């Protein structure tokens, strides 16, 4: 248990502390740029998925720089939106490396988008819908845009994109929910802990995390392109891993704010002592010798006392299932440890 707590603390510390490495970043950016070997954009019939992936690499390098500029200027909302765009661009680039038919799908989606862009001409009576449809038909068939989640799911099954689904779930989904869409989550950012309304919303992410995710996306796609080109990927993989490991998720920021508002500092030492006591019991022979019902009752009581510092209603319908899950997992680990250490 203490190893888990230590890991969580270290992740938070890494996410909060600065991580200056300008020389390394320049080397990675230069190496990533060298992977873009397409000198001029080919005709539609000659465009390949690899060409699109290289174009996505250029896009990511630009978004990385813009995210850093926005963060340096303390433009938090802008840095988040740019980092979200970097995640989407990274997933598209990775997807292109494994779906040769992506060019046709992108073209079809682009034709549909063109129709949507000029749609107001029809609304204003400048041109008829039939004329617009006929004009679009001359470019080819229309199609729906690529689904980001589906791209992440496919990419996640490949060596180049392992972790793509985690990137999508941890960062793309929450930034879309909290920052992009008009919904309850984005509106409630303007409501303070004491239910007062604020013109300046709470920002459920950090500027440094936004920068690090844009950096990680550059490393991920560059590594995949390098592997396709049979170039050493070490520098890109290490760069992506180092920055991804230092990014705090929006959910962690939201949870941290909730803890800050609900936890009393004076209660933390007692909670820590209870945690150490529960750990000692979990690894003791006594836990193995206790009857299952006795063991469960003690674990449940200690765990409830530890969580009481959060001032949560552990019997509430929303928190009870989570509470029960952690108790069950802890009991399973105690049983496994006891069997391995004190069992026959």
Please tell me the predicted confidence (pLDDT) of residue 36.
Answer: 95
Identify the three-state secondary structure at position 263: coil
Please tell me the predicted confidence (pLDDT) of residue 240.
Answer: 95
Q: How far apart are CA 182 and CA 176, in angstroms?
A: 10
Please tell me the predicted confidence (pLDDT) of residue 344.
Answer: 67
Contact predicate 208/71, CB 8 Å: yes
Contact predicate 170/179, CB 8 Å: no
Please tell me the predicted confidence (pLDDT) of residue 14.
Answer: 65
Please tell me the predicted confidence (pLDDT) of residue 314.
Answer: 64
Q: Is the pTM of this model over 0.75?
A: yes
Please tell me the predicted confidence (pLDDT) of residue 72.
Answer: 94
Render 95-134 in DSSP notation, one character per residue.
HHTT-TTHHHHHHHHHHHHHHHHTHHHHHTTSS-HHHHHH
Please tell me the predicted confidence (pLDDT) of residue 190.
Answer: 95
Q: How far apart are CA 159 and CA 243, in angstroms?
A: 19
The torsion defined by the Cα of 65, 66, 68 and 72, in degrees rounded to 10, comes to 140
Please tell me the predicted confidence (pLDDT) of residue 327.
Answer: 85
C-alpha distances out from residue 202 to 68, 181, 192, 193, 199, Å: 21, 15, 8, 10, 10
* Predicted confidence pLDDT, tens digits, the chain (344 residues): 445 555 555 665 666 677 778 899 999 999 999 999 988 999 888 899 999 999 999 999 999 999 999 999 999 999 999 999 999 999 999 999 998 889 999 999 999 999 899 889 888 888 888 988 888 889 888 999 999 999 999 999 887 667 899 999 999 999 999 999 999 999 999 998 888 999 999 999 999 999 999 999 999 999 999 999 999 999 999 999 999 999 999 988 887 776 666 666 677 787 778 888 888 888 888 888 888 888 989 888 888 887 777 666 666 666 777 778 888 888 888 888 888 887 76
């Amino acid at each position: 248990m203490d190893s888990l707590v230590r890991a969580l603390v270290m992740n938070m510390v890494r996410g909060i502390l600065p991580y200056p490495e300008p020389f390394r970043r320049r080397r990675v950016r230069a190496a990533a740029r060298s992977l873009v070997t397409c000198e001029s954009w080919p005709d539609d019939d000659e465009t390949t998925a690899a060409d699109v992936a290289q174009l996505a690499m250029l896009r990511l390098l630009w978004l990385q720089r813009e995210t850093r500029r926005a963060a340096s200027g303390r433009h938090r909302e802008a840095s988040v939106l740019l980092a979200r765009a970097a995640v989407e661009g990274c997933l598209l680039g990775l997807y292109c490396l494994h779906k040769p038919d992506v060019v046709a799908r992108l073209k079809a989606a682009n034709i549909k988008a063109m129709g949507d862009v000029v749609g107001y001409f029809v609304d204003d009576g400048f041109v008829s819908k039939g004329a617009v449809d006929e004009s679009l038909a001359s470019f080819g068939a229309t199609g729906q845009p690529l689904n980001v989640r589906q791209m992440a799911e496919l990419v996640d099954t490949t060596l180049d994109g392992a972790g793509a689904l985690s990137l999508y779930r941890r960062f793309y989904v929450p930034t879309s929910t909290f920052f992009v869409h008009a919904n309850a989550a984005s509106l409630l950012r303007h409501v303070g802990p004491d239910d007062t309304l604020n013109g300046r919303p709470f920002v459920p992410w950090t500027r440094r995390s936004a920068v690090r995710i844009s950096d990680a996306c550059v490393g991920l796609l560059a590594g995949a392109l390098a592997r396709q080109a049979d170039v050493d990927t070490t520098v890109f993989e290490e760069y992506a891993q180092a920055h991804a490991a230092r990014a705090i998720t929006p959910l962690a920021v939201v949870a941290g704010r909730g803890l800050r508002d609900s936890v009393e500092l004076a209660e933390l030492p007692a909670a820590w002592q209870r945690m150490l006591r529960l750990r000692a019991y979990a690894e003791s022979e006594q836990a193995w010798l206790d009857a299952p019902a006795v063991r469960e009752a003690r674990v449940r009581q200690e765990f409830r006392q530890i969580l009481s510092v959060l001032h949560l209603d552990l019997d509430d319908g929303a928190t009870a299932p989570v509470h029960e899950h952690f108790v069950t997992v802890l009991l399973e680990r105690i049983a496994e440890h006891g069997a391995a250490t004190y069992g026959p």
